Amino acid sequence: MGKLSPSDIVHGKITRISKSGNGILDYGTGEISLGPILEEAVGTEVDAVVYDENHAFCLTGAVRTEYYDNAMRAQTRQLIDSPPDECPGIGDTVEVEIGSINSAGHGYASYLGIPIRVKNVPQGTQIGQIISVKVLRIEPSRLVATGTAVSLRGRLPEVGESFRAPISHKTHSGNGIIESFIGHQINVGPVRDEVLGDHVEAVLLDDQFAYCLSTNATIDGYRNIWEPKVTEIALDRSKELQQQLGRNDKPERSTSGRIVRPVQRRNSSFSKRVHRAYDHTCAVCGQRWKDDSGYFEVEAAHIYPVSGVSEEDPLEGGPDSVQNGMSLCRTHHWAFDHGWFTINDDYTISVKDDPSLEGYEAMAPYEGQQLYLPDDQSLWPARHYITFHRDHVWTG
């Protein structure tokens, strides 16, 4: 048999079970993964139908594990387009058995065969313990949930509006993240370790950042670190922010990080034009999520950052043009801004080759994949902005 094609029927023997529990089928001229198979099925001959070059669905029911269909939909990245009937929705609480916990305190589990990454496993939780988690988002190959109590809300506050919400987890750099608003992760800057799960008062600066007003929750020097994130519109609208910073204060420049200029006032028309050009679709993964309130999950990402990359940047940042933007889901927006992947001149994706990065396995499959681009070719990313990103932002 030559190269396999989707829907081909193959026959062979299950030769082994991989470390991840998938049965490996030897069909004579090659091997292919069958998904989760019973250990005692090794040596059994079975038939399977090919899904893609790496996966085939086992047609012999007697060798498949419980919830096989659910697990295979996850492995073939169908949880969004074709979710199982049993798949929990955003905001649902389910009980899971923690299979492992990494050094950052995040765990891995499964629910009826569907993989779940559990952020912020409660302290003291043991491997094998069953805990309640709340689903934060659905990705093509897994669910993301939190072990911290979070009440999800459909509407993101307006810029300059104060709100109260819990810190759901911390980044490796120590920044607190609020995930109470469906489709958004709000970064409130460096917070103390002990505030994980606590409610804080904050003012929204834009669709990604907020300024924490709860001084007992932030680290020493918070203002100096986070004030450059403050936008003019947020300061104008928020009396609480004015009281903490002083109406006439000017944000100081930060000397650390990739973007060092104060965050400029966001151009809302830029976001609308980018979203419209890409039909509210992520240019990387092709997902087009919308909540019950009509809010799309995608964000308008700048290729050449509007705030520049250094104090010596002669252009002082890129423009708010569609050709300097892409529509990206939150995950891929973050990865793009942090240099995990870049765009080639033929509009294919290059992923940073670093398996040590947590989350690398989710990004690696996009290597060489073509972007989802606007129908109007004149709105495609301009090559000079792509080249800039490769030269100055990409860390690969």
What is the structure's pLDDT at 358?
80
pLDDT of 306 higher than 70: no
Grade residue 268 by pLDDT with cuts at 50, 70 and 90.
low
Sign of CA dihedral 234, 238, 240, 242: positive
* Rounded average pLDDT over 80-92: 84
| Pair 25, 49: CB distance under 8 Å | no
Tell me which of 248-252, 348-352, 360-364 is least confident: 248-252
Mean pLDDT of the chain: 84
Q: From CA 136, how far away is CA 152, in angstroms rounded?
A: 8
What is the structure's pLDDT at 233?
84
Q: Considering only CA atoms, which of 163, 161, 136 is closest in space to residue 150?
A: 136
Helix, strand, coil shares of the chain, percent, nearest 5, are 20, 30, 50
| Pair 48, 10: CB distance under 8 Å | yes
pLDDT of 239 higher than 60: yes
* Rounded average pLDDT over 166-195: 84
Same fold across 9-65 and 93-146: yes
What is the structure's pLDDT at 234?
85
What is the structure's pLDDT at 150?
65
pLDDT in tens, 278-301: 999 999 998 888 877 777 888 999
Q: From CA 121, how far away is CA 169, in angstroms rounded?
A: 10
| Pair 309, 366: CB distance under 8 Å | no
Q: Where are the alpha helices (DSSP H) in the chain?
A: 68-75, 222-226, 232-237, 239-245, 268-277, 330-337, 360-363, 383-392
pLDDT in tens, 204-226: 998 889 999 999 999 999 998 99
What is the structure's pLDDT at 251?
42
pLDDT of 84 higher than 80: yes
Which segments of 107-209 are extended strands (E)? Answer: 107-111, 114-119, 130-138, 143-146, 162-166, 169-170, 175-178, 186-190, 199-204
pLDDT of 307 higher than 60: no
pLDDT of 156 higher than 70: yes
* Rounded average pLDDT over 121-140: 87
Grade residue 237 by pLDDT with cuts at 50, 70 and 90.
confident
Tokens 């649902």 sit at which residue? 92
* Rounded average pLDDT over 184-200: 86
What is the structure's pLDDT at 255?
34
pLDDT in tens, 20-40: 889 999 999 899 999 999 999
Q: Which CATH class is domain 9-65?
A: mainly beta
pLDDT of 315 higher than 70: no
Q: Which residue has the higher pLDDT, 27 or 148?
A: 27
pLDDT of 197 higher than 90: no
CB atoms within 10 A of CB 28: 11
Q: Tell me the CATH architecture of domain 93-146.
A: Beta Barrel (2.40)
What is the structure's pLDDT at 206?
85
What is the structure's pLDDT at 2?
62
pLDDT of 103 higher than 80: no
Bridge-based pairing state of the strands 45-50 and 9-17: antiparallel
Please report, for the chain, the start and end positions of each structural domain, with discontinuous segments joined by +.
Answer: 9-65, 93-146, 162-245, 268-392
Q: From CA 210, how far away is CA 202, in angstroms rounded?
A: 6
* Rounded average pLDDT over 300-318: 62
What is the structure's pLDDT at 196?
79
Q: From CA 14, how far away is CA 32, in angstroms rounded?
A: 10
Tokens 């193959």 sit at which residue? 10
| Pair 56, 98: CB distance under 8 Å | no
